[in-house]
Structure 1
Amino acid sequence: MVSLRNRIIHLHRCRGITRRTITRMLTIDPSLSSIYNLSSSQISQQFAIPQKHAISLHQDLHNHTLQKEIERDINSYTILTVVDESYPIVLKTIKDPPLVLYTIGDVSLLEQIPALSVIGTRSPSRNALNKMNLILPTLLEKNWVIISGMAMGIDSYAHQFALRKNGKTIAVLGGGFQHIYPKQNVTLFDQLSKKGLVLSEYPPGQPPERFHFPERNRIISGLSFGTLVIEAKERSGTLITVDQALDQGREVYAIPDSPTNPEAIGCNRMIQDGAKLVIYPDDILEDWDRAKEIWINQTQDIRN
Structure 2
Amino acid sequence: MDINHLYLKLRFAGMTTRQIHQLFNYECDFGSYNKREQQYKLKSYLTKIKSTKKMSIYDNFIKHDIESILLQLDRWKVKFIGIKNTAYPNLLREIFEPPLILFYKGNLSLAQNEQSLAVVGSRQATSYTNEALRILFPSFKKRNLTIVSGLAEGADKLAHQHALAHHMPAIAVLGFGHLNHYPKTTYVIRKQLEQKGLVVSEYLPYQKPLKHHFPERNRIISGLSKGVLITESTINSGTSITTNCALDQNREVYVLPGSIFNKMTMGNLISAQEGAKIVISAKDIIEDYH
| TM-score, L = length of structure 1 | 0.87
Q: 1:183 to 1:4 in 2, by over 3 A?
A: same
Deviates more, 1:79-88 or 1:30-39: 30-39
| 1:163–1:169 Cα contact (<8 Å) kept | yes
Q: 1:7 to 1:133 in 2, by over 3 A?
A: same
Give the equivalent residue in structure 2 for 1:7: 6
Give the equivalent residue in structure 2 for 1:142: 143
Helix, strand or coil: the match of 2:218? helix
Q: Distance in 1 between matches of 2:279 and 2:27?
A: 43
Give the equivalent residue in structure 2 for 1:267: 268
Give the equivalent residue in structure 2 for 1:123: 124
Q: Distance in 1 between matches of 2:15 and 2:172?
A: 28
- Residue identity opposite 2:234 in structure 1: K
Shift of 1:180: 0.7
| 1:11–1:22 Cα contact (<8 Å) kept | no
| 2:15–2:57 Cα contact (<8 Å) kept | yes
| 1:43–1:54 Cα contact (<8 Å) kept | no
Helix, strand or coil: the match of 1:252? strand
CA RMSD between the two structures: 2.3
Offset from partner CA, 1:23-65 (integer Å, 9 cap, x none): 33672223364466535xx533356534975432220012249
Q: 1:68 to 1:249 in 2, by over 3 A?
A: same
Give the equivalent residue in structure 2 for 1:229: 230
Shift of 1:135: 1.7
Shift of 1:260: 2.7
Give the equivalent residue in structure 2 for 1:258: 259
Deviates more, 1:58-67 or 1:113-122: 58-67
Q: Distance in 1 between matches of 2:122 and 2:261?
A: 16
| 1:25–1:47 Cα contact (<8 Å) kept | no
Give the equivalent residue in structure 2 for 1:71: 71
| TM-score, L = length of structure 2 | 0.91
- Residue identity opposite 1:71 in structure 2: L
Q: 1:16 to 1:220 in 2, by over 3 A?
A: closer
Are 1:112 and 2:113 counterparts?
Answer: yes
Shift of 1:192: 0.7
Q: 1:22 to 1:192 in 2, by over 3 A?
A: farther
Task: Give the share of equivalent positions with the same residue, in percent.
Answer: 34
Give the equivalent residue in structure 2 for 1:98: 99
- Residue identity opposite 2:72 in structure 1: R
Helix, strand or coil: the match of 1:80? strand
Q: 1:36 to 1:172 in 2, by over 3 A?
A: farther
| 2:121–2:231 Cα contact (<8 Å) kept | yes
Q: How does 1:1-304 map to 2 (within 5 A)?
A: 2-15=1-14, 18-24=19-25, 27-31=28-32, 33-34=34-35, 38-39=39-40, 43-45=42-44, 49-50=48-49, 53-64=53-64, 68-74=68-74, 76-289=77-290
| 2:9–2:69 Cα contact (<8 Å) kept | no
- Residue identity opposite 1:184 in structure 2: T
Structure 1 residue runs of 5 or longer lacking an equivalent are: 290-304
Shift of 1:140: 1.7
Q: Distance in 2 between matches of 1:252 and 1:32?
A: 43
Structure 2 residue runs of 5 or longer lacking an equivalent are: none
Q: Distance in 2 between matches of 1:273 and 1:264?
A: 14
Shift of 1:272: 2.1
